[in-house]
Homo-oligomer: A and B are copies of this chain.
Amino acid sequence: MIEMHNWTIIDNQLPVTNSEALESIFTVGNGYLGVRGSYEDETISNTTTNHGVFINGFYETMPISYGEQAYGYPQERQSIISLPDATHIELFLNGLQVNQQNGHLSENIRQLSLKQGIMTHSFIWEENLSKNKIKVTFTRLVSFTRKHILAVHVEVKPLNFKKAILTVKSTLATNDLTINKNSDPRVANVDPAELLKNTEPIKALNPQTMGFIFPTKNSKLTALIAISHSIAGIVDKKTCTFTKELLIDQKPISFDKYACYFDTREDHKKSSLSTVEAELNACRNTGFEVLTHEQQLYLTDYWNKSDLHIANNYNNNLELESRFAMFQLLQSVGKDGNRGIAAKGLSSTGYDGHYFWDTEIYIMPLFTMTQPQIAKKLLINRFHQLSEALQHARQLGYKGALFPWRTINGKESSAYFPASTAAIHINADIMFAIQQYFYFTNDLQFMHQYGLKMLVEASRFYLSYGNWDTNKGFVLNTVTGPDEYTALINNNAYTNLMVKNQLEFLTSSFTFNDVANLGLTAAEWHKFKLAAAKMFITTEGNLIGQDDSFLTKPKIDLTKLKKSQYPLLLHFHPLYLYQHQVIKQADLILAMALMPYRFNLQQLQVNYNYYEPLTTHDSSLSRAAYAIVASQLDDQTAFNQMLQRAFSTDLTDGQHNTNEGLHTASMGGTWLVISLGLAHVRATQNNLLLDPILPPQWEAYVIPITYHGSQLKLSVSKRETNITLIAGKPVPVILNGKKVIF
């Protein structure tokens, strides 16, 4: 579908196919703002398109409609909104629109540079009658350093004529905005066209600046979206249209377009409008080149700390695939402490732009290990939603806090509780990320300001949700684990292990005195310890039951299913799936991938052998975990297979739905596979532990790790294993069981 060379993703197919998946792949963003990689003027091709510009966490609410209501169900659906698209630019040559109808494309290339943070789209177009030929290049960036800014540089180069009039029509496009096509059409959905009816033109001081005030109806948020150009033209502020006629005579001509997207969730001391105007003025004054330079600097620093090197004999793409993943994660992740990372990043309205447990379990490890300042902001975003989590638990009848299964604003937004609210492992997932963050950073201030309060309330919840069974110990009944093909079962092994881990972390890394000011009693503290110690896990010898009754259920022979029957959730009733030993995604195996030190090799082997054939990998979250455990077990065939499918999820459209957005969790999985599956990175409060292995078909890999503020590089090759201290003071490392200081 696409080509990859030297830090660059390239689409140069003609005619263009599967354009909507490509639009997802060529998304540019900065974690606040994201823009799908659609054409500036889609009439140059005849493929379908889905424009989409998204502000992370800018959402509308709509009532949820239930077939059967019950007490305590969430009543509001939160949905990210597709905003007017500032990349839209139409060109006319001697009055004829530069499109498919009036001419012929002999070249059409989209390139996404992972080093520069720039998407270029260039094409050569020959007008049908005059045979006038031009090369058009759009260069697009969403600035990492100027949070609200999208910039487009336009260059038109005459290739075979002397003189012509080039007319530019540049707008804030409001047609073809992405809507959530995937969901039930009868479910209340946010139609951007509905919201557009309430927009008003902004009243900018600058006569060349125009835009919309874009208010939501129910969620009471407002976005300000404004554009301005580096050249003056005719401005229609009502329709947000900029028109300019330019004489094109042999030399290329170029201009810039700047857009500012700003929403009322942003802190601002001045009025929004003056902030927006000031940011646009600043862009026009500095110019596009400065923006690209800033972008470059930002990314140099990023890659310096987060780049992976992979060299192997059988798949040249792995390195670039993992870089693509790390780049898109950077583009998707909220960095201001008030926004998370959506399941589809900022590439679509898929999953309503919600934040899931994917954030903490699949995505955060990359940031925790290489960009802890970003990891911290994600955790602070959760902290800001703690009051909703406390309320959520109370509404359900429990103590403490239960974080929502899917949310933007901190309130639970899922409409089927057996596969959402019942997945109470969400708390432990977030606490796992806090543990990792703390171990990798030693950021005690964070723990006292944010972390411990979350830990205490999340632990209180579990103590009130669970109960004591005379024979079993501490049990967590009526839960749903990561595997959503089983629901409302007792003692999901993943959940219980993660909760045990959380309680042990809290009670062993901290003392009662550390949390006494949080209103915790000594009795509660004691119960935390006891529950951790007595946490129940079903076992049959080395085989661990995914839950109390999983092992007694009949199996489905997956080898007898047709390819067209996957994913199973689209072809089987939930009851049938719940009734069988069939797994959507890594569950117990995920616990093994995250905490291998809690299992012996025999347990890993027995359980991998048991659960792998039952797993459909119908979720893109699955294969990374299996790859990690396969690597532990030295099963190279399985490792390679799982890893290749995990790494290429979006670039090969492996789940057949990249058109509906990128799979951020799967991208996070690529980091997990290398760090946990090969380098075996693990932090404790006092040491960084590394037990790297090199698969036989691999030549080498290099992985960067930031531990307690110091930047390290682990290089593993056939010849040797090396750790280098790149920046910061020396830190204690245990390499292959031997303590060293780097």
CA distance A465 to B579 in the complex (A): 8
CA distance A645 to B478 in the complex (A): 33
Residue A70 is within 8 A (CB to CB) of chain B in the complex? yes
Q: Give a binary string over A394-422; 1 marks a CB under 8 Å from any B CB, 0 the rest.
A: 01111000000000000000111111011
Contact partners of A6 in chain B: CB under 8 A? none
Q: Give a binary string over A405-449; 1 marks a CB under 8 Å from any B CB, 0 the rest.
A: 000000000111111011000000000000000000000000000
With A65-B65, A465-B579: A71-B488 Cβ-Cβ less than 8 Å? no
Residues A65 and B186 in contact, CB atoms below 8 Å apart: yes
With A553-B477, A574-B70: A488-B65 Cβ-Cβ less than 8 Å? no
Contact partners of A579 in chain B: CB under 8 A? 465, 477-478
Contact partners of A418 in chain B: CB under 8 A? 418, 488
In the assembled complex, the CB of A465 is this many whole angstroms from the nearest CB of chain B, namely: 7
Q: Give a binary string over A59-90; 1 marks a CB under 8 Å from any B CB, 0 the rest.
A: 00001111111111100010000000000000
CA distance A187 to B187 in the complex (A): 10
Residue A191 is within 8 A (CB to CB) of chain B in the complex? no
Residues A552 and B71 in contact, CB atoms below 8 Å apart: no
Contact partners of A397 in chain B: CB under 8 A? 572-573, 576
Residues B187 and A72 in contact, CB atoms below 8 Å apart: no
CA distance A561 to B548 in the complex (A): 31
Residue A467 is within 8 A (CB to CB) of chain B in the complex? yes
Count identical subunits in the complex. Answer: 2
Residues B396 and A576 in contact, CB atoms below 8 Å apart: yes
Residue A554 is within 8 A (CB to CB) of chain B in the complex? yes
Residues B415 and A68 in contact, CB atoms below 8 Å apart: yes
In the assembled complex, the CB of A536 is this many whole angstroms from the nearest CB of chain B, namely: 10
Contact partners of A64 in chain B: CB under 8 A? 67
CA distance A419 to B578 in the complex (A): 14
Residue A5 is within 8 A (CB to CB) of chain B in the complex? no
CA distance A417 to B65 in the complex (A): 16
Residues B554 and A396 in contact, CB atoms below 8 Å apart: no
Contact partners of A268 in chain B: CB under 8 A? none
Q: Give a binary string over A562-582; 1 marks a CB under 8 Å from any B CB, 0 the rest.
A: 000000011111111011000
Residue A739 is within 8 A (CB to CB) of chain B in the complex? no
Contact partners of A77 in chain B: CB under 8 A? 67
CA distance A69 to B186 in the complex (A): 10
Residue A217 is within 8 A (CB to CB) of chain B in the complex? no
With A72-B572, A472-B552, A571-B71: A578-B488 Cβ-Cβ less than 8 Å? yes
CA distance A64 to B67 in the complex (A): 6
Residue A628 is within 8 A (CB to CB) of chain B in the complex? no
Cβ-closest chain B residue relative to A490? B549
CA distance A467 to B490 in the complex (A): 19
In the assembled complex, the CB of A212 is this many whole angstroms from the nearest CB of chain B, namely: 31
CA distance A578 to B397 in the complex (A): 12
CA distance A70 to B575 in the complex (A): 10
Contact partners of A187 in chain B: CB under 8 A? 65-67, 69
With A478-B578, A576-B397: A63-B553 Cβ-Cβ less than 8 Å? no
Residues B68 and A416 in contact, CB atoms below 8 Å apart: yes
**A to B CB contacts below 8 Å, 8 in the list:** A66-B67, A67-B187, A72-B573, A396-B576, A417-B573, A417-B574, A421-B573, A490-B549
If A73-B573, A417-B573, A490-B552 are given as contacts, then 4 extra A-B residue pairs at C-beta distance below 8 Å, sorted by A number, are A65-B67, A66-B67, A66-B187, A68-B414
